[in-house]
Structure 1
Amino acid sequence: MCSNKKPDLKDFLDNLKKPMPLSRKAGLYFRNNLLKIRKLQSCCGNHGEPGC
C-alpha cells in the first residue's frame, strides 16, 4: 500500500519519464489524481504510474 510520505518532486518527475505514449501518460496522470482527490489521500494506489 501507499506510504504516508509527502509527495516528492523527484518521484513525480521519475513517473513522468516512463516510456509510454504521451496520450496514455496524460490520461493516467489525470485519472490517478482524480482517484487521490476522491479518496482524500496522497496516493492513488497505482505505484509507479504517472500522477501517483
Structure 2
Amino acid sequence: MADGVDSDELLRRIRVARDWAHEEEERSADKADEAAAAAYRAVGAVLDKVVDPTRH
C-alpha cells in the first residue's frame, strides 16, 4: 500500500505537475500541435485553480 502524503508534499507535487503542463503547452504550440496545446492548457488551468482558487 502507498504511504500517506502530507499537505505540503501534495501541494509540491501539484505545482510540479502544473509547471510541467505549462511547459508541454508551450512545446506543443511550437510544434503547431494545437490539439495537444489545448489539452495541456486545460490541465494547467485546472491545476492553477487547485493551487490558487482566487486566480482567474
TM-score (norm. length: structure 2): 0.41
Higher helix share: 2
- State which structure, 1 or 2, has the greater radius of gyration over its C-alpha atoms: 2
TM-score (norm. length: structure 1): 0.43
